[in-house]
Amino acid sequence: MEKVKYNIAIQTFMEVFDYLLNNNMLEFDAGEDFLRSRITIGPYGFMLETQVARGKWDEEHPNAKLIPAIYVLNYLANNIDEVLRKRNVPVSPSSDYAYINDAQAKLTGYKTYYPSYKELIKKLKEVRNSKETYECTDGRVLDFNVTKLRELSQVFARLTPLEIRTVECYARLEEELINLTAYLLLRDKDNFAVDYPNKEMYDDPDYHLAPTDTSVDWEEFKEYITSEFEFQKEEGKFDLRGAYSTWDENPYISPLGLDGLTK
């Protein structure tokens, strides 16, 4: 079985998703009437759009519905190996991989990377609330306006609602990916991998999580995603937490203040 570091597996999934999304390659057979479907990001989250006729997309009134992050991850899990074999997917210049997916980055190719989308969302929330501070090595705390984060504040100020939503969706995908696969890091008190992990073990002092640079099985990593997808599908319990809408039955509050602004 092929082994890969856990944090590299997370990064690989996110970078392949970013590559496919930005190159309009999240498209596949809809399974009926020779139609095609595609995954996009819309005002309310991840969307599954299907052609209205063979070879025809309705750009004004798309035939689309909200889908959960697990749907996107299942597609990636089933296709990621082929993408990595056949496409030249660019990787981050360092271990950081999260960036703001906006028009400026697409036009110039200039991207400022962060260790994770979770951290990026946290920084953007603090910038939005004008509470960002930067602690210097000598202990002094300066207002963010006189630090390097001033640039991040300016970037956030010019983002469109859809660009902000895109950052949120990337963060949601990353969070769901980690939630589904963290079982692989569970170790018992003797530091052995757990054969039959469950959620209760996270709070059990006899178990702990291995470091994120621990090597895990690549096939098992993907299997955790695909098996959870099939379970939710069979149970009819797809979790739409990735739908950022105050009108949804299971609403998720926008971390960056978009609620009510994109309807």
Q: What is the pLDDT of residue 237?
A: 77
How many of the other CB atoms lie within 10 Å of CB of 237?
A: 9
Entry pTM: 0.88
Q: What is the pLDDT of residue 75?
A: 97
CA-wise closest residue to 73 among 116, 16, 120, 35: 16
Instruction: Encode 22-32: b = buried (16+ Cβ within 10 Å), e = exposed.
Output: eeeebeeebee
Tens-binned pLDDT, residue by residue, of the chain (263 aa): 599 999 999 999 999 999 999 999 999 998 888 899 999 998 888 999 999 999 899 888 888 888 989 999 999 999 999 999 999 898 877 889 999 999 888 888 888 899 999 999 998 988 887 655 555 656 666 665 556 677 788 888 899 989 999 999 999 999 999 999 999 999 999 888 888 888 888 888 889 999 999 999 999 999 999 999 998 888 877 766 555 554 444 456 788 878 655 54
Q: What is the pLDDT of residue 85?
A: 94
CA atoms lying within 13 Å on the CB side of residue 244: 28
Q: What is the pLDDT of residue 252?
A: 63
Q: In angstroms, rounded to a whole number, what is the distance separating the alpha carbons of residues 119 and 116?
A: 5
Three-state DSSP class for 186? Answer: strand
Ranges of H-type helices in 114-245: 117-128, 150-157, 161-181, 218-235
DSSP letter at 262 equals -
Cα–Cα–Cα angle for 7, 9, 15, rounded to 5 degrees: 100
CA-wise closest residue to 130 among 169, 166, 160, 157: 157
For residues 134 and 144, is the Cβ–Cβ distance under 8 A?
yes
For residues 101 and 163, is the Cβ–Cβ distance under 8 A?
yes
Q: What is the pLDDT of residue 39?
A: 96
